[in-house]
Amino acid sequence: MHWLLAAVMTLSVRFPLEPWLQAPGFAEITRPVSGEAVRGIVTLEGTANHPAFDHFDLSFGYDPDPTDTWFPIVDSDGSRVVEGRLAVWDTSAVADGVYRLRLRVWPAEGQPLVAFVGGVRVRNQGDIETPTPGPTVQAAESTPVIETPTPAPTPTERVVAPEPGGRVRTAFLAGGVLGVVALGGTAAYAGWRAARRAAWGSPRAVHRAERRRRPRGRT
């Protein structure tokens, strides 16, 4: 596998390709990333390596920049770097804005391998913007529902009026009872008189008998 990779690198040196078609893993910028905001002293990290490595350089420019103008950070460094620190970038002398970084790894012969990182925001004077947080999904708090007991209906006294028919029946019964009592009293009185007559006779007869028993006086 290593011999195949070395052959590819040798071919890329003898027959240089466009930078975006070259094999990855030899020219990479891993920090900062695109869209990151930086200020002050910034450590640039990545990889600058090649089987026929000679040196690398680092630079920055405006993003976007139609003129393709670059400002050096490292002119030439002959040290191989594999996933480590490439350089230190002092952004304090750079105006706030959006920039892009360029790393070029130069082999002993041929064209360089190039890596870009765009959208790096320098914020030395102003505040560093923070991403707008998305809506936070929260668990709905269940509000306890206090059920108010429904008051029981107050019992009301119901006055039931007697129906007309009931009134008539009640009066009829009362009259019947009084009539029976009256008849009973009358019958009892008649019986008493009859018994007295039987025992004593009629009042006139009694009166006559008393007169007969009285001694007659002299006239």
CB 62 within 8 A of CB 48: no
| DSSP of 60-112 | EEESS-TT---EEEEEEE---EEEEEEEEEEGGGS-SEEEEEEEEEEESSSPP
Q: What is the mean pLDDT of the chain?
A: 74
Single pTM value for the model? 0.52
- When pLDDT is cut at 50, 70 and 90, the band that residue 127 belongs to is confident
163-207 confidence digits (pLDDT tens): 555 554 555 565 665 666 666 777 777 775 766 666 555 556 555
pLDDT at 126: 76
| pLDDT of res. 180 | 61
Q: Which residue has the higher pLDDT, 16 or 91?
A: 91
Contacts of 205 (CB under 8 A, 6+ apart): none
Task: Confirm if 26 and 47 have CB atoms less than 8 A apart.
Answer: yes
Q: What tens digit of pLDDT does each residue of 112-126 get?
A: 999 999 999 999 997
pLDDT at 141: 45
At 25 the pLDDT is 83
